[in-house]
Homo-oligomer: A and B are copies of this chain.
């Protein structure tokens, strides 16, 4: 890695940290610079503007999440295993980046058009891979391996159970009266809880 690439990376890491915590409007270039251990001038020497920096960070994380999910959805494993894979994939990502969902959701709420641009760019519509999953669920229902359920609700249920405790962390912490380490421990245990919850709920 050359120095330029190293600095590039340093800045993007700092930008990720600040944007994830504060969102676009709340983030300050000054904070990003300080987090990266430098000054604003150098930031602009490497990246034209706040917007550009933000888009790089956002697109990277979003695409990673999205393509990871699609890979799993379209993979050739049995349904229960696939559900496990989705849960584990997301929870691994979230343990590493707890603020990620709040960041993505906030930007998509303020700026929903971005989604369509991003998806067109990547030339990969969710539909195709979702249909594979849809068919798989229908077949499992037909064969009586799981109860009658709409695959769209199933996938949203999975995402909900996995993602909400991270998006809603401050609320949940308060409600359960747990401090940071206890809440993290709670989330660790929860990994198994989610699996059994989901699998139980789709039993025939």
Contacts and interface: CB of A to CB of B under 8 A. Distances in A.
B119 A174 contact: yes
Interface string A85-127: 0000000000000010110111011101001100100000111
Interface stretch (A3-11, A35-43, A157-165): A157-165
A190 B177 CA distance: 30
A198 B24 CA distance: 36
Given A110-B26, A112-B170, A130-B176, A147 B104 contact: no
A179 to B, nearest CB: 12
Interface residues of A, number: 55
B104 A105 contact: no
B99 A102 contact: no
A23 B168 contact: no
Given A156-B172, A177-B126, A110 B22 contact: yes
Given A126-B174, A130-B176, 8 more contacts: A102-B105, A106-B106, A115-B174, A126-B177, A130-B177, A153-B190, A153-B193, A167-B168
